[in-house]
Structure 1
């Protein structure tokens, strides 16, 4: 889906738990997520920590939107 959206001229970032799959389907900008059922959080952690995880990953994704790339790129996130 991301490949088709980019063909239309819209820059997109795929946030994915399975980065190898995202690469295979042709995503150009990828941000790793935490897990399949909770991509941007971990319900076993305090709400403040979840907020920090989400805030950081969405920030990385926004930065990825404005980054000029030449090839498929996985943007690094803090653990």
Structure 2
């Protein structure tokens, strides 16, 4: 799906829990997530700490969208 969207000229960031799989499927901009069952959070943390985790991952993804790349890049 990522490659199909990028074929239309739209940059895509793949937030993932297993980076090698994203690399195998050809994602160009890869942002690692927290864990498989909770990619954008950690249920052992408080609500405020989870919000900070989510914000950090999404900020990294937004910066990845703005970064020119020439090959697969893990941010």
TM-score (norm 1): 0.92
What's 1:41 paired with?
41
**Structure 1: runs of 5 or more not aligned:** none
Matches of 1:25 and 1:40, distance apart in 2: 21
Alignment of 1:54-65 (within 5 A): 54-65=54-65
Count of matched residue pairs: 75
3-state SS, counterpart of residue 11 of structure 1 = coil
**Structure 2: runs of 5 or more not aligned:** none
Matches of 2:25 and 2:18, distance apart in 1: 11
TM-score (norm 2): 0.97
RMSD, matched Cα: 0.6
Does residue 24 of structure 2 align to residue 24 of structure 1? yes
**4+ runs of 1 displaced by more than 3 Å?**
none
Q: Which deviations, in whole Å up to 9, do the C-alpha atoms of 1:34-79 show, x marking residues without a partner?
A: 111110001111111101100000000000000001110000xxxx
What's 2:7 paired with?
7
Matches of 1:70 and 1:10, distance apart in 2: 15
